[in-house]
Amino acid sequence: MPKLPALRTLNYYWRVLATGLSFAIFCVGGILLAALSLYVLITHKNRADRSLFMRKWLSRIFRVYLRLLRNLGLITFEILHKERIKPRGQLVIANHPSLLDVCFIISLIEESDCIVKEALFHWPLTAAPVRAANYIANEFNGLIERCLASLQTGASLIIFPEGTRSPPGQLHPFHRGASNIALMSGKNITPIVISCHPQTLLKHQRWYEIASSPPHYVICIMPDIELGQIIDPSQLQSRSARVLNAYLMDYFAKAINNPQLP
Amino acid sequence: MSTKESVRDHVINVIHELFDHPKEQLKGEVRLYEDLDIDSIDAVDMVVKLKEITGKKITPSDFKDVRTLDDVVNSVHKLLVDGESAA
């Protein structure tokens, strides 16, 4: 069948082109988003109103962007157990295999707060959006208190406990912040397990180094982890945080290698 | 008079009990954050425990410049000695 490789090649070049296009859209979209955020920063003086408005918009914008990527044939995805997501007030933790993870999660939640890399507060295109949405910089002094306050307002809080993108097929050790926040807020944890095959947009990869087939994302929202089942309340927090953190790492290590998720 | 060695034993016991580090690892020059993975929340719990043992008022700010296990021993010892000379 001589035609098939040719077709495959054609499809491959289309996807390189479309990948470039999607990055272009991402950049133009980013500029528009930055403009929108600046507008929001200027017009909405009340910080709470402003972040609520911005977070809702980010959720919509990411939903549209992901559908666009799918319609361009660049990615495929399935979202499992969407019913486990509440519009607000959840403590969500996820593994972090790709750049799009945060887009997926924010797109699912109506009002989400998120711990993001400090640098995003300084990069030109991201500074205005993360500030308008009042997201939390990971190097913020008093990070834990800030996260607790955010949960108290009723927003959902998204944390990637690895603190950076996962190594392919594996996990970095989890920081204990998410565990401590769960313990201090008394919130159960909603884990989201993300898989992406073949892997794409890795840290060392160039934008045009795309896989031979479009990456398929599975976003699986897992049942809540009930703290009471894991933690002995008579223990001090520092010890409980270690127990919970070890539990979470083990949980995710099993989940990312298990295609049959509950 | 509390000797430095008894303070050291207390500190080692507290760290061992709270964070499960083997006592052999808890040498004087070992760094709390880098080597023992003790963060600010852990430090608060450690202060609570040390307070119970020493019966002295210790505030987290007493440990502001603490980096190593020796620093903790010295700070606690200093608090105890200062307390005794004031009394």
pLDDT at B56: 77
Helix A143-152 to helix A177-185 angle (10° resolution) is: 40
Residue A156: pLDDT band (50, 70, 90) is: very high
Give the gap in angstroms from C-alpha A116 to the nearest C-alpha of chain B: 20
Range with the poorest average pLDDT among A129-138, A172-181, A219-228, B53-62: B53-62
State which amino acid sits at residue A136.
I
Confidence check on the interface: ipTM exceeds 0.90, yes or no: no
The pTM score is: 0.84
Q: Is B39 on the interface with A (CB under 8 A)?
A: yes
Residues whose CB is less than 8 angstroms from the CB of residue A105 and which lie 6 or more positions away in sequence, other chains included = A92, A94, A112, A158, A192, A219
For residue B46, the chain A residue with the least C-alpha distance is A238
Distance between the two ends of chain A, CA-based, in angstroms? Answer: 41
Mean pLDDT of A92-98: 95
Closest of A115, A232, A134 to residue A181, by C-alpha? A115
Question: What is the per-residue pLDDT across A8-60, written as a single tens digit (0 to 9) for each?
Answer: 677 788 888 888 887 888 788 889 999 999 999 999 989 889 999 999 999 99
| Chain B contact set for A242 (CB, 8 A) | 19-20
**What is the least distance, in Å, from the CA of A150 to any CA of chain B?**
19
What confidence category does residue A63 fall into, taking pLDDT thresholds of 50, 70 and 90? very high
Query: What is the C-alpha radius of gyration for chain B, rounded to an integer number of angstroms?
Result: 12
Nearest CA in chain A to B16: A239
Shortest distance between the Cα of A139 and any Cα of chain B, in A, equals 14
Set of chain A residues whose Cβ sits within 8 Å of the Cβ of B38: 238
Position A81 pLDDT exceeds 90: yes
pLDDT for residue A218 is more than 90: yes
User: Closest residue of A to B18, CA-based?
Assistant: A239
Which residues in chain A touch residue B18, judged by CB atoms under 8 angstroms apart?
236, 238-239
How many CB pairs below 8 Å do chains A and B form together?
26
Computed over every residue of chain B, the mean pLDDT equals 85
Q: How far apart are CA A35 and CA A23, in angstroms?
A: 18
Which pLDDT does position A260 carry in this prediction?
Answer: 61
Q: How confident is the model at residue A61 (pLDDT cuts 50, 70, 90)?
A: very high
pLDDT of residue A149: 96
State which residue of chain B sits closest to A235, comparing Cα positions: B18
Q: What is the pLDDT of residue A151?
A: 96
Reference B12, options A177, A180, B20; nearest CA is B20
Minimal CA separation from A157 to chain B, in Å:
20
Chain B CB contacts of A176 under 8 Å are 39, 41
Distance from CA of B15 to the nearest CA of A (A): 11
Concatenate the DSSP letters of all residues of B2-23 into one string.
--HHHHHHHHHHHHHHHH---G
Mean of the pLDDT values across residues A172-187? Answer: 95
Q: Find residue A113's DSSP bridge partners.
A: A157
Hey, is the C-beta of B18 within 8 angstroms of any chain A C-beta? Answer: yes
pLDDT of residue A146 exceeding 50: yes
CA–CA dist B12, B50 (Å, integer): 11
pLDDT at A186: 94
Average pLDDT over residues A230-251: 93
Task: Nearest chain B residue to A242 by CA: give it.
Answer: B19
- On average, the pLDDT of chain A sits at 89
Q: Any chain A CB within 8 A of the CB of B42?
A: yes
Single-letter amino acid code for the residue at A257: N
What's the whole-number mean pLDDT along residues A192-196? 94
pLDDT at A2: 47
Three-class secondary structure assignment of A143-179:
HHHHHHHHHHCCCEEEECCCCCCCCCCCCCCCCCHHH
If one compares A198 and A76, the residue with the highest pLDDT of the two is A76
Query: How many angstroms separate the CA atoms of A53 and A41, rounded?
Result: 11
Could you say which of B19, B38, B41 has the minimum Cβ distance to residue A180? B41
**Using N-to-C axis directions, what is the helix angle for B4-19 and A237-256, rounded to 10°?**
40
Distance CA B44, CA B38 (A): 10
Comparing alpha-carbon positions, the chain A residue that sits nearest to B41 is A238
Q: Across the interface, do B39 and A176 touch by the CB < 8 Å criterion?
A: yes
